[in-house]
Structure 1
Amino acid sequence: MIIRNPHGAPDLACDECGCRWYDRQTNACYECGTPVPRAELDDYLRVLRDFHAARGIVVNSPAER
């Protein structure tokens, strides 16, 4: 699930246990190990992109680093 942190930015949280500790190496919740579906990751990235665009934040793509 997508939640908002105190600064308004989107965070990814586990649908099963609600924790916000997401392991990007395994695409699973640190707390309970539930896998995060690809569609949910795509939604999160879309919401994050929209958040950046609305605030004028420019983020380098991984290929540009």
Structure 2
Amino acid sequence: MTEMADAGATSQEMMSLSGHLTTAMVDVYASKNTAQTVNALEKRRMFGWSEADLNRMIEEYEDGTDGDE
């Protein structure tokens, strides 16, 4: 499941392949990591976020901060 999430699969797509009935169960088996964060941010780039914004968000994720500090 983690590999599918790393590849950018949505929870619905993973549910259709795994047979899980809820996204909560998918989340149990799809460990969160930086690759998934980068994939999500790359998708957001399509909506106009700058490279600097994306890099800052990745750094905040890796540092464990949320940008509000």
Which TM-score band applies after superposition, normalised by the shorter structure? 0.3 to 0.5
RCO (CA 8 Å, sep 6+): is it higher in 1 or 2?
Answer: 2
Q: TM-score, normalised by structure 1?
A: 0.38
* Structure with the larger helix share: 2
Q: TM-score, normalised by structure 2?
A: 0.37
* Structure with the larger strand share: 1
